[in-house]
Structure 1
Amino acid sequence: MNPLRLSLAIGDYDRIRPIADGTVRIDGVDPVMSILDPEEIFFRAFKYADFDICELSLSSYTVKTAKGESPYIAVPVFPSRAFRHTSVYIRTDRGITKPEDLRGRRIGVPEYQLTANVWVRVILEEYGVRPSDITWVRGGYEHPGREEKIALQLPPDVRLESLSPGATISSALADGTIDAVIGPRAPSCFERGAPNIGRLWSDPVAAASEWYGKHRIFPIMHVLGIRKDIAEQHRYLPGALVKAFEEAKSLALAKLTNTAATKVTLPFVEERLQHARALMGEDFWSYGLEPNRHGLDVFLQAHHAQGLSSRRLKPEELFHPASLEAFRL
């Protein structure tokens, strides 16, 4: 049997590189790889279902799945995870020194429903800051005119505005039109060291480590999706993807562990790896439903409570059933 030629779009991560370079094979598949920025993948996937297999925003996928409108079905492979204490950027001249100070502020977001923003709102609720306490201002980070890729019906007490034409989130934070930004990327005004711009958590690693110690959650950002029509035609495919991506991740971690020559262009990689394992255990970037059930359940509860998903999903509903079982020796 000839292998399937399927398009596979995903970000450029060490944990997928063995698949991209052919070191790890997906059983029965000859993938046509597209290594793209996640924003492009998500736009094309949810607008046009452009790809056979691709990385998906967990939040956008949850919105679509709750409505029964997703062209994709996920498998429990998580290409992107991140602690989001790095995702809140503030004007340092507005008296914002702690999360509670964000009440009553104007906060820029590239899209309200982004997964990173859902997780930040989870964190802020622990400080008594609710979505209705903030005026949310939507726009493009660096290019004006960005809109939500998915239509939303938000609760009536959530105020969501659009930036003025021609403005960007970065320029609005720099000129003080907004008080803060929440999103998965740093705005360019922060990166270039513009005056009066900083992070809400000055030591986000310490803040995230403390949060993990309390909740035992490493937030999931993205899942891996298969177009439903293809998954239906080729029932072996969900399990084959989980198997291949697990193997690719194991190879990436083995390279990080080999300290004879650093595989990443960054000092102190070994020390950070040791810190992560001491805090989170050996399998700190786990795939599969059961190791991640608690984190997914917290996310799905928050996603529905924030008015993003039309019904409260269970974690099992996110994944193809064939991707939740594997043989054992």
Structure 2
Amino acid sequence: MLLPVVLAARFQESALLCRADGPIRGPADLAGRRIGVRAYSQTTGMWLRGTLADRFALRPEAMRWTTFEDAHVPEYRDPPWAERVPPGSDMLAMLRDGRLDAAIFGNDTPAGDDLRAVFPDPAAAGEAFRAAHGFTPVNHLLVAQRALLEEAPELAPKLVRLFPATAADRAALGPALALAVRYCVEQGLLPRPLAAEEIWAGLPATVA
């Protein structure tokens, strides 16, 4: 069950890297290119694919996505425009030797003068996202087992109170979740849109 606690939020543009000496000069150059990402379902990849579609008219299927592991949901299968590499493959090594044109990393991006961000000014691109949508993308939210909270509903507000610095309310998270749902449907991560009441289903009314 989803709880209104943001564990991580950040702009994503600095996580998309290419080779410094490569031909890519900006996001528009990614059409037809091979892009690595740890898992197609990775949250950073979802936000970046949404940005590429919204700002540069690059739908997910316009690029060749290369994945290295499964999603955290066993039933999920990558879409046809994603290809799995052989076990043991290294995304950073593939980027550096040219087998990948670009790659999406997590919060800890690799260092080295041989790499640079695909977005020429990642900070400005992040601010452009916030200006367009009004929020910083969320990467991780707190969840709890539904059976546990159904058995003891009083636990939900107690869990939220454990995170006073990052607790939010459902209304404040609404725009981020609504856009994430749209992106997930467009990218083949969800079979259909989810309404807000479905996202928060089962959360006690005592939780904001």
Q: Structure 2 length as normaliser, TM-score? A: 0.89
Aligned residue in 2 for 1:107: 35
Deviation (angstroms), 1:215? 1.7
Q: 1:173 aligns with which of 87, 95, 104?
A: 95
Matched with 2:71 is 148
- The offset of 1:202, in angstroms, is 3.6
Is 1:135 aligned to 2:59, yes or no? no
Partner of residue 239, structure 1: 157
Residue in structure 2 matched with residue 214 of structure 1 by the alignment: 132
Amino acid of the structure 2 residue aligned with 1:168: D
CA distance in 1, matches of 2:149, 2:57: 43
- State the partner residue of 1:163: 85
Say how many residue pairs are matched.
205
Q: How does 1:1-329 map to 2 (within 5 A)?
A: 73-125=1-53, 126-139=55-68, 146-150=69-73, 151-155=75-79, 158-187=80-109, 190-191=110-111, 193=112, 195=114, 197-246=115-164, 249=165, 287-319=168-200, 320-322=202-204, 325=207
Higher relative contact order (CA 8 A, sep 6+): 2
Q: Is the 8 A contact 1:242 1:323 kept in 2?
A: no
Amino acid at match of 2:204: A
The root-mean-square deviation of aligned C-alpha atoms, in Å, is 2.0
Provide the identity percentage: 27
Q: 1:225 to 1:128 in 2, by over 3 A?
A: same
Shift, 1:106, TM fit: 0.5
1:243–1:148 Cα change, 3 Å: closer
State how far apart, in whole Å, the 2-side matches of 1:132 and 1:178 are.
16
Larger-gyration structure (1/2): 1
Counterparts of 1:76 and 1:108, CA distance in 2: 31
Distance change >3 Å, CA 225–CA 199, structure 1 → 2: same
Q: Distance in 2 between matches of 1:235 and 1:149?
A: 26
Judge conservation of contact 2:60–2:187 (CA < 8 Å) in 1: yes
Q: Give structure 1 stretches of 5+ with no counterpart.
A: 1-72, 140-145, 250-284
TM-score norm. by structure 1 comes to: 0.58
Does the CA-based 8 Å contact 1:137-1:160 persist in structure 2?
Answer: yes
Specify the code of the residue in structure 1 equivalent to 2:52. L
Amino acid at match of 2:38: P
